[in-house]
Amino acid sequence: MTASLRVAVLAGGYGGAKLSHGLALIEQRDPPLDLSVVVNTADDLQVHGLCVSPDLDTVMYTLAGLANPDTGWGLRDETWSAAEMLERYGVETWFRLGDRDLATNLLRTDRLRRGDRLTAVTDGLARALGIRARLLPMTDDRVATKVRTDDGWLDFQEYFVHRRHEDTVHELRYEGIAAARPTEEVLDALESADLLLLAPSNPFLSIGPILALPGVVETIVSARARVVAISPIVAGKAVRGPADRIFTSLGGRASAAGVATHYVERYPDLLDALVIDEVDYGDAPAIEALGLRVFPAATVMRSEPDRERLATEILESLGRRG
């Protein structure tokens, strides 16, 4: 029996969820796959007193096969009775929680209030939903992304959900990051991985907070994993969300080469390779000039077979040890 291939994914919301799901869908593989998904929690927030972790839940619901395929967040077959009743009480509900989703948030909040770590709570929820991959919040500490716009500093979900990420982003900070620590489980996943994937999630809003945690980049650089990012920019546009506009407003370029530049300039020695979309093959020389290997693939995942196919291609190109 061969030892398993250990894969760790750094993930935000939907892009990271889909890639992780593609990896989890690869049931039969030699060597077998051992999957850990490290998820951004800097977009967590309190809603009606509940501790809500949008990225964690997007990944969890996606891995459990319960995600709403139309929205990219929340659960399929969701109902909205509680939100309607809250509106009847005159409560502001721009961050609407579905009824099934409320159950997740109720349980998480109750267990956190009893003193459990977010890591343990998440593990309990994920196992109950039949997820075999390790689903790991990046930290048990509180980190909160803030976004500076023309109207000043905004809470992340105020910017992202309430104002539909329409504001121009001039500056970002991850409040609490200096005092936060990656968990032992995260450090262990990073240290023991054969292959570390930076999912096609937003480099500023999703991957950025994970890499900003004290010790994370150093741990990755000194560990043995091959480190590969998947570009979330295809043909100059974000597959989803505001990543392209944020690249531009923060002084970078919304392109596959811009993604490479971003990672190489901010985190020297971190990346070994970048997976870019086939349509961006013209960027390959510029990316290689930065010292990265380039792997072109069909990176846009519109269906479950797309997810499994991309995951398989990445593993076949990059998943060999050594």
Q: Which residues bind its own copies (CB under 8 A)?
A: 48-50, 75, 78-79, 81-86, 88-91, 98-104, 106-107, 109-110, 113, 125, 128-129
Distance CA 296, CA 300 (A): 12
Q: How many CB atoms lie within 10 A of CB 194?
A: 22
How near is the Cβ of 100 to its own copies at its closest, in Å? 4
Min dist. Cβ of residue 99 to its own copies (A): 4
Q: CB of 161: closest distance to its own copies in angstroms?
A: 19
| Residue 264 structure tokens | 């190489």
Closer to its own copies by Cβ: residue 58 or 206 = 58
Burial class (CB in 10 A: 0-12, 13-18, 19+), 295: middle
18/108 with CB nearer its own copies: 108
Q: Which is nearer to its own copies, 126 or 260 (CB)?
A: 126
> Which residue bears the tokens 């075999």?
132
Helix (H) and strand (E) counts in the chain = 13, 14
Cβ-based nearer residue to its own copies, 90 or 152: 90
Of residues 106 and 289, the one with the C-beta less far from its own copies: 106
**For residue 41, which phi and psi values (nearest 5 degrees)?**
-125, 10
* CB neighbour burial string for 140-153, b if at least 16 within 10 angstroms, e if fewer: bbebbbbbbbeeee
The Cα-based distances of 223 to 114, 192, 194 in angstroms read 35, 7, 9
Q: Is 319 helix (H, G, I), strand (E, B) or coil?
A: coil
Shortest distance in whole angstroms from residue 125 CB to its own copies: 6
CB atoms within 10 A of CB 268: 11
Q: How far is the CB of 216 from its own copies (least distance, A)?
A: 30
Nearer to its own copies, 64 or 287 (CB): 64
Closest distance between its own copies and the C-beta of residue 322, in Å? 41
d(CA 321, CA 5): 8
